[in-house]
A and B are shown apart, each in its own frame.
Chain A
Amino acid sequence: MIRFILLQNRQGKTRLAKYYVPLEDSEKHKVEYEVHRLVVNRDPKFTNFVEFRTHKVIYRRYAGLFFSLCVDITDNELAYLECIHLFVEILDHFFSNVCELDLVFNFHKVYLILDEFILAGELQETSKKAIIERMGELEKLE
């Protein structure tokens, strides 16, 4: 199960933070700080996995942005790595060539996309097309 998802830039600014387990606000900030510290200086040749407390962080860097998923120690790391990539593809498709600014100004939309992709810490939909279509329908209701 995914414990939380973080999207941070290289300076450690959080662009998206979604927690599927309850944490105090102060604890969230600590987690965000620690995860950023963990991933930001890792060599690109290194694994995309770091042990974090009693869990594991699967992260992937896209330009200046780090996508980090915190998952259970027994979860399939490679699958979650693929999962991050699929999410990025969906974002890329939705914003057509996504960049950090898109995510800043449309943060609420990013959350909505995420809610169509992952729910309760589990994968909800694996089709990029289905999610984009669903987003289109939801946009029309606005």
Chain B
Amino acid sequence: MNPFSSGTRLRDMIRAIRACKTAAEERAVVRKECAAIRASINENDHDYRHRNLAKLMFIHMLGYPTHFGQMECLKLIASVGFPEKRIGYLGLMLLLDERQEVLMLVTNSLKQDLNHTNQYIVGLALCALGNICSAEMARDLAPEVERLLQFRDPNIRKKAALCSIRIIKKVPELAENFINPAATLLKEKHHGVLITGVQLCTDLCKVSEEALEYFRKKCTEGLVKTLKDVVNSPYAPEYDIAGIADPFLHIRLLKLLRVLGQGDADASECMNDILAQVATKTESNKNAGNAILYECVETIMSIEDSGGLRVLAINILGRFLSNRDNNIRYVALNMLMKAITVDAQAVQRHRATILECVKDSDASIRKRALELVYVLVNESNVKPLTKELIDYLEVSDEEFKGDLTAKICSIVTKFSPEKIWYIDQMLKVLSEAGNFVKDEVWHALIVVISNASVLHGYTVRALYRAFQLSAEQESLVRVAIWCIGEYGDMLVNNVGMLDIEDPITVTESDAVDVIEVAIKHHTSDLTTKSMGLIALLKLSSRFPSCSERIKDIVVQYKGSLVLELQQRSIELNSIIAKHQNIRSTLVERMPVLDEATFIGKKAGSMQSTVSSPVGASINLPNGVAKPSAAPLVDLLDLGSDEVPAPSSSGGDLLHDLLGVDLAPASKQSGVNHSPNNNGTDVLLDLLSIGSPTQSSSSLPDMLSSSQGNKTPVSPLGLASPSSNSIQATSSAGAAPVIDLLDGFAASTPKHENNGTAYPSVVAFESSNLRMVFNFSKQPGNPQTTVIEATFMNLSPNVYTDFIFQAAVPKFLQLHLEPASGNTLPTSDNGSITQTLRVTNSQHGKKSLVMRIRIAYKMNNKDVLEEGQINKFPPGL
């Protein structure tokens, strides 16, 4: 006989599963078992039903799917006997949860069982209801539960009380029905009923203001008395834990008193004495006693002020903090966090101990302590505390460094008394744990450095030294590269020496070495390498003697497989080689980055009206404009063979940072450079390069307007009459940057001489077919774009049954006009055109995107081509 037929006992099945040596064996056993159970279910076999379900529960616990057993639970629940019901309800709780539809079917059985004459069955139903009750069940069954709160058997009353908690959490409006019965439970002597009653009252207070008021008025005194009785009760073996009678009840009572006392002076007054008694009399040598003290301290901290009690509480925490048991220290740290709002001075006294806890080997303690130190820092103690934390950074665990650096950086930024100190501390952090520093942090550091003009020389030299020691910390390397690029001359000439510095001798070639090392280092990522190339360009102008060498380094990336680097290399190379005359103006030092704007950005107000740092003219860069959705800053326009210009769009902070000074930068004809952050950006770049907009950008305009002194309306402003947003800001001469950041199609490329505002785009191209989009807008309706699609046949065959289909996301509306024909002759003989109207409901926020499908017959064979178009010119 098959040992795994449904006839096997549960015990045998468990044994068989345990005997399995491999996971595969186990799966086989389970599969056989499940098959047998299914068969038995299909035969509607009553005798084995509850055994089957028990097996299913075990199988479920092992992690196998058991949904086919759900209906069996319901059948068992509906049967008459206690053992069947018991297993049925157990299965219900394990195999189902409140979200399953099947649960609807069980409401009726639950209702019957809640009214059952057998109190054990009532208990089963209450238990199931308490654990899986949904909002609907709560509404249906609340009256039954409410009635059961007064049931004669205490076992039922306590279950009903906890069920009520679940019900009022699911449906808070039901709370008022439970206030009175809950208050009655508080008078109970039976510990189980009392503790559940107290818990019910606590939860009622959370969901209902009315309940809180009621209990506060009617029950506070009674509860204080109950607590007094419990505290003073003689030895009760049944409830005794470490010499304390029912610590759990103590804790629940203290918690409810806390809720009642919070914000109410009278209630707080009423409980003062008993709290003082608990705080002083409770034995603190065992965990149970400490648990009570801990709860008591929290209650004292939360209720209305009573000076004496708070001193008592802080003292208890002080004792906890010096306890040898880690658990106790952990809760002390936790509670000091709350105490700090009550008595910051008292917490400050424990600063040294807390600082020790930051260095604990236990991550839980470290984390708590670090949080606490973070709130303890103020202007007066920031220096010593930061020093301690940075010293610890050197020896801390790798996984803790992330948290730690984030907190240190935040402290340093918030409380730094002077810039030099800030820069010093940040350099230390970057040198120790630069790899854990978030991008915003080093971006912020660059902004600060840029603003501290007297410290430029000092900073670049400090970074040079730091780089020699910690070249493996990526963000340190990036800051160093940036600074050397900007202030390389100061590094070499020891400009702006501070008294505290030791002079160092750095030759021009040493400075270039740093960047070369950084670029060539195998761990350097794209951002670092890109930044390095830009820095080299800058240095090539600052250090003419190294120009040749720099050119050689740059040229090496001409064949880089990473497009971004390849592009930069070619572009930079052309600047170095061919445009000596403008190079020095091009790579002038970055203008000071505006701190206020940066902080504003950092606060996440991307759309806010940050005013432009300088009253700059709108020298929007030519070149490729990118949709704001693509967070990238393109560097140098490949298509332009004269002068590169930056173009930017909204995106992450780094781009903001650069966006902020874009206007002044281009005013000086400067180039500002920003690396792209990651691979996806590069991909987007890639797309833009392919777009024909680049070649059509008008450089001379850009140059003349930038050099020819700030005409407020740039060619771009004129270029696109339909994009109102641009015009508004540009003619106002106000914040061009905002446009850039908001992605309002900031740098709409100007299309030369053809009168249309938007360049045409090869939207789709395959080996057989090319589709070109021409865009136009109707005046006064900037949301709607009329697209004229032209299809060209690139093959020697004629296409018949040509159908073009397009789909757009929800924020767009698409209307397709009929096509000019359905036969596409070869390229020489004509094309098909079709007009599309797209209305962008998120105009100015999102750019167009479209999915297309083109079907046609070539030589009577069906051909289907599909694609997605993302490279619409922005502003559509």
Contacts and interface: CB of A to CB of B under 8 A. Distances in A.
B61 A126 contact: no
Max chain B Cβ within 10 angstroms of own Cβ: one of A19, A43, A48, A122: A122
Contact of B199 (A25, A107, A123): A123
B158 A138 contact: no
6 closest A-B pairs by CB: A78-B291, A120-B130, A22-B97, A46-B362, A119-B162, A125-B192
Given A76-B295, A79-B295, A141 B82 contact: yes
B191 A50 contact: no
Contacts of B98: 22
A123 B249 CA distance: 10
Given A108-B57, A108-B90, A77 B248 contact: no
A83 B90 contact: no
B166 interface: yes
A129 interface: yes
Interface of A: 14-20, 22-23, 25, 29, 42-43, 45-51, 76-79, 81-83, 86, 104-105, 107-108, 111-112, 115, 119-120, 122-130, 134, 137-138, 141-142
A130 B295 contact: no
Contact of A134 (B155, B287, B295, B327): B155
Interface residues on B, range: 35 or more
Interface stretch (B216-224, B239-247, B642-650, B758-766): B239-247
Interface string B58-90: 100101010000000000000000110011001
B327 A49 contact: yes
Contact of B90 (A46, A112, A119, A128): A112
Interface string B186-222: 0000011001100100000000000000000000000
A82 B249 CA distance: 12
A81 B364 contact: no
Interface in B118-134: 120, 126-127, 130-132
Interface in B273-322: 287-288, 290-291, 294-295, 298
Contacts of A22: 97-99, 132
Given A49-B330, A137-B120, A138-B120, A17 B367 contact: no
Interface string B131-161: 1100000000000000000000001001100
B11 interface: yes
B290 A119 contact: no
Contacts of A81: 287, 291, 327
A43 B556 CA distance: 52
Given A47-B330, A82-B247, A111-B94, A120 B163 contact: yes
A86 B365 contact: no
A120 B127 CA distance: 8
B548 to A, nearest CB: 56
A104 B65 CA distance: 19
A134 B131 CA distance: 19
A122 B291 contact: no
B331 interface: yes
Contacts of A123: 195-196, 199, 248, 252
Interface string B449-486: 00000000000000000000000000000000000000
B94 A47 contact: no
A47 B326 contact: yes
B753 interface: no
Given A86-B241, A119-B127, A46 B364 contact: yes
Contacts of A142: 82-83, 86
A53 B723 CA distance: 46
Most buried by B among A79, A105, A138, A141: A79
B14 interface: yes
A105 B362 CA distance: 36
B495 interface: no
Contacts of A15: 61
Interface string B36-70: 00000000000000000010011001010100000
Residue of A50, A78, A125, A134 with highest tally of chain B CB at under 10 A: A78
19 contacts: A45-B362, A47-B326, A47-B327, A49-B330, A77-B330, A77-B334, A78-B294, A79-B295, A83-B248, A108-B57, A112-B86, A115-B127, A115-B131, A120-B165, A123-B195, A123-B252, A137-B120, A138-B86, A142-B86
A82 B287 contact: yes
Given A123-B199, A127-B239, A76 B251 contact: yes
B379 interface: no
B248 A126 contact: yes
B861 interface: no
Interface string B1-35: 00000000001001000100000000000000000
B192 A124 contact: yes
Nearest to B98: A22
Contacts of A83: 248
Contact of B159 (A17, A47, A119): A119
Nearest to B83: A142
Contact of A47 (B166, B239, B251, B364): B364
Contact of A82 (B90, B127, B241): B241
Interface of B: 11, 14, 18, 54, 57-58, 61, 63, 65, 82-83, 86-87, 90, 93-94, 97-99, 120, 126-127, 130-132, 155, 158-159, 162-163, 165-166, 191-192, 195-196, 199, 238-239, 241, 246-249, 251-252, 255, 287-288, 290-291, 294-295, 298, 326-331, 334, 361-365, 367
A12 to B, nearest CB: 11
A17 B61 contact: yes
Contacts of B248: 79, 82-83, 123, 126
Given A49-B364, A108-B54, A125 B327 contact: no
Contact of B331 (A78, A82, A115, A128): A78
Contacts of B97: 19, 22-23
Contacts of B82: 141-142
Given A18-B93, A47-B365, A126-B195, 8 more contacts: A29-B63, A78-B327, A78-B328, A83-B248, A112-B90, A125-B191, A127-B238, A138-B86
Nearest to B166: A120
A10 B248 CA distance: 29
A122 B199 contact: yes
A17 B131 CA distance: 13
A115 B125 CA distance: 12
B162 A126 contact: no
A111 to B, nearest CB: 6
Contact of A119 (B131, B287, B327): B131
Contacts of A129: 238
Most buried by B among A20, A43, A119, A129: A119
B367 A51 contact: yes
Contacts of A51: 364, 367
A122 B196 contact: yes
A112 B163 CA distance: 17
B323 to A, nearest CB: 12
Nearest to A82: B288
Nearest to A129: B238
Contact of B65 (A20, A25, A112): A25
A124 B162 contact: yes
Contacts of B132: 22
A75 to B, nearest CB: 10
Contacts of B327: 47-49, 77-78, 81
B159 A124 contact: yes
Contacts of A141: 82-83, 86, 120
A123 B362 CA distance: 29
A79 to B, nearest CB: 4
A76 B287 contact: no
Contacts of B127: 115, 119
Contacts of A49: 327, 330, 364
A20 B166 CA distance: 10
Contacts of B251: 76, 79
Contacts of B120: 137-138, 141
B22 to A, nearest CB: 14
Given A119-B127, A124-B196, A137-B120, A107 B362 contact: no
